[in-house]
Amino acid sequence: MIRARRIPFIFWLQDLYGEGATRVLRRRIPVFGAALGRAFGWYERRLLKRSSHIVVITRDFLEYLPGAARQRRTTVIENWAPIDALPVLPKSNDWSRQQGLDDKICLLYSGTLGMKHNPSLLLELARNLREHPEVRVVVISEGAGAEFLEQQKLALALGLDNLLLMEFQPFERMPEVHASANVLVAILEPDAGVFAVPSKVLTYLCAKRSLLLAVPSANLAARTVKQADAGLAVEPDDVAGFVAAAGRLVDDPELWKNLAANGRSYAERTFDIGTITDWFEAIFAKVTASPQGLLVNIKEEGV
pLDDT single digits (tens) 241-272: 999 999 999 999 999 999 999 999 999 999 99
Q: Are residues 47 and 127 in the same domain?
A: no
- Residue 4 forms part of a structural domain: no
Residues 109 and 248 in one domain: yes
Q: For 213-226, how does the pLDDT look when each residue is reduced to its tens digit (9 = 90+)?
A: 999 999 999 999 99
Q: What is the mean pLDDT of residues 62-67?
A: 84
Q: Which of 53-62, 101-110, 156-165 has the highest average model confidence (pLDDT)?
A: 101-110
**What domain range includes position 15?**
10-80+272-301
Q: What is the pLDDT of residues 169-188, one digit of tens each?
A: 999 999 999 999 999 999 99
Same domain, 35 and 51: yes
**Sheet with strand 299-301: strands edge to edge:** 10-13, 53-56, 73-77, 299-301
Q: Helix (H, G, I), strand (E, B), or coil: what is residue 99?
A: coil
Is position 251 within any domain? Answer: yes
Distance CA 250, CA 240 (A): 15
Q: Quick one: 141 and 248 in the same domain?
A: yes
**CB-based contact 72:291 (threshold 8 Å):** no
| CA atoms within 13 Å, Cβ hemisphere of 284 | 6
Same domain? For 189 and 261 the reply is: yes
pLDDT digits (tens, 9 = 90+) for 72-129: 689 999 999 999 999 999 999 999 999 999 999 999 999 999 878 999 999 999 999 9
Confidence of residue 157 (pLDDT cuts 50, 70, 90): low
Cα–Cα distance for residue pair 258/263, rounded to 1 Å: 9
Q: Name the pTM for this structure.
A: 0.89
Please list, in sequence order, all residues whose beta carbon lies within 8 angstroms of the beta carbon of residue 116, skipping any fewer than 6 positions away.
20, 24, 188, 189, 191, 192, 196
Q: Residue 154: which residues within 8 A CB-CB, separation 6 or more?
A: none
Structure letter (DSSP) for residue 92: S
Q: How many domains does the chain have?
A: 2
SS3 151: helix
Q: Under a CB-based contact definition with an 8 Å cutoff, are residues 4 and 26 in contact?
A: no
Neighbours of 158 (CB within 10 A): 15
